[in-house]
Amino acid sequence: MKKPEILLTLFLFLMGAAGSVTAQDRLNSNTEGNEASGRIEITPLFEFKDGSTGVLNEGEATLFKIAGPGPFDTIRVMQIENDKIVFDDLESGAYIVHVSPAPGYIAIKDPGTEDMDSVRLIPTFFKNAIDWQDADTLQLTDIISDTIWMQRATKQAMTGEAVVMVSVEFHNPDTKSKVSGAGCTLRRKETTGGGRSSEQEYVLFSYKETDDNGEVFFEGIPSGWYKLNIHIPGIPLDPNAFQEFEISESDGVNRYDFFAFAKDDIITIGRILATATDDLRHPRVYPNPAGEEIIVDFGRPAGKNIKVRLLDLTGKVITEKTLMAGGGKKSKIRTNGLNGVYILEILDETEDISGRLKVVVRN
């Protein structure tokens, strides 16, 4: 049997950009007022495999300010100097810190000896989180001095039996620019703890960054539930910048497509449902981005009633249509007069949701 793989192709197209740009090029240049005098000082630490402590001495940190319930603004980027990251002249408020090792950085202990130890570190949110929603908030009133524990890259057994391709794209109606250096985190749902204290949570499976072509490849991913996060320095953190999906040997799906739509103030990721399968959970949806209509193509007449529903991001139902059993194989959703990001849901005859994706509408 051919070794399974996931191909994750990530094209990042940023609004107003031309040609190829790096994620670093998109950083905002917001500054604080002249009277700001707060200070955040962070020491980036990590553990070698033997448990000893090391200090990250090459890389940079991004500071985000929480200004409200929406996306958080990038306000400053600083390089690591003298084993520390220092943000000076800050206003009081709530902040999040994100630390990235220098490209290709590998920490090595005792090089050239029998005790040589090396680890690869990945970008981490203060205090030791991979996902920004798990990050600790720094409440600044005067001076904060603390440490951040950098996450280490892990090696997972690539034992999957399905062949899955995942593609992610960033769209711009005028120009398109591939972005290198965007962080792509793939986490797998695992059971942690034991007995009554056991619980399920997403655990880091693999982390990679887009190359000069805006692409990244994950191979040999086994069945399970996964969470895909994408982080682009300079794009404000947004709670919708992730997708959860299941890789299953039994559903007959051999392709998983994702799109990611980025502007200067938001990044939106959605799944483009793949070719129809026997249970009709994965129709083809096009065009996406859409104009005056969206076509949901199940590939053949439905064997049972299927409802297609379009909602806005608040959960309000914009429109819905029912495809009757034995009827046509396509459902057309009118989107004229709409503009923005919406949720398309596929429901079975019991009203259970069997498919969901984000669609972009431009009129």
Of 111, 129, 152, the residue at which a domain comes to its end is 152
Average pLDDT of the segment spanning 284-313: 81
Domain of 314: which CATH number?
A: 2.60.40.1220
Domain count, the chain: 2
Q: What is the mean pLDDT of the chain?
A: 75
Residue 100 domain-assigned (yes or no):
yes
CA separation (Å) from 163 to 220, 281, 309, 337?
8, 18, 30, 39
Place of tokens 């520390």: 84
Residue 77 domain-assigned (yes or no):
yes
Of 152, 173, 200, the residue at which a domain comes to its end is 152
Structural domain range at position 135: 28-152
Residue 163 domain-assigned (yes or no):
no
Q: What is the pLDDT of residues 262-278, one digit of tens each?
A: 666 666 666 655 433 44
Report d(CA 141, CA 146) in Å as an integer: 14
Residue 125 domain-assigned (yes or no):
yes
Confidence label for 32 from pLDDT (cuts 50, 70 and 90):
very low
Q: What is the pLDDT of residues 7-22, one digit of tens each?
A: 443 433 343 333 334 4
Tokens of 150: 């950098």
Q: Which residue in 230, 231, 271, 280 sits closest to 252, CA to CA?
A: 280
Q: Which residue in 351, 349, 317 sits closest to 333, CA to CA?
A: 317
Q: DSSP 3-state assignment of 134?
A: helix
Residue 70 domain-assigned (yes or no):
yes
Q: Is 34's pLDDT higher than 90?
A: no
Place of tokens 């950009």: 17
Of 111, 131, 152, the residue at which a domain comes to its end is 152
Q: Is 29's pLDDT higher than 60?
A: no
Residue 175 domain-assigned (yes or no):
no
- ∠ at Cα 125 (35, 41), nearest 5°? 40
Q: What is the pLDDT of residues 141-199, one digit of tens each?
A: 999 999 999 998 876 666 655 444 455 555 555 556 777 777 788 888 988 776 676 78
Domain of 60: which CATH number?
A: 2.60.40.10
Q: What is the pLDDT of residue 352?
A: 62
Residue 172 domain-assigned (yes or no):
no
Residue 318 · residue 282 · CB < 8 Å: no
Q: What is the pLDDT of residues 195-254, one digit of tens each?
A: 676 788 888 888 888 777 777 777 777 888 988 887 776 666 666 677 788 877 666 555
Global pTM exceeds 0.85: no
Residue 134 domain-assigned (yes or no):
yes
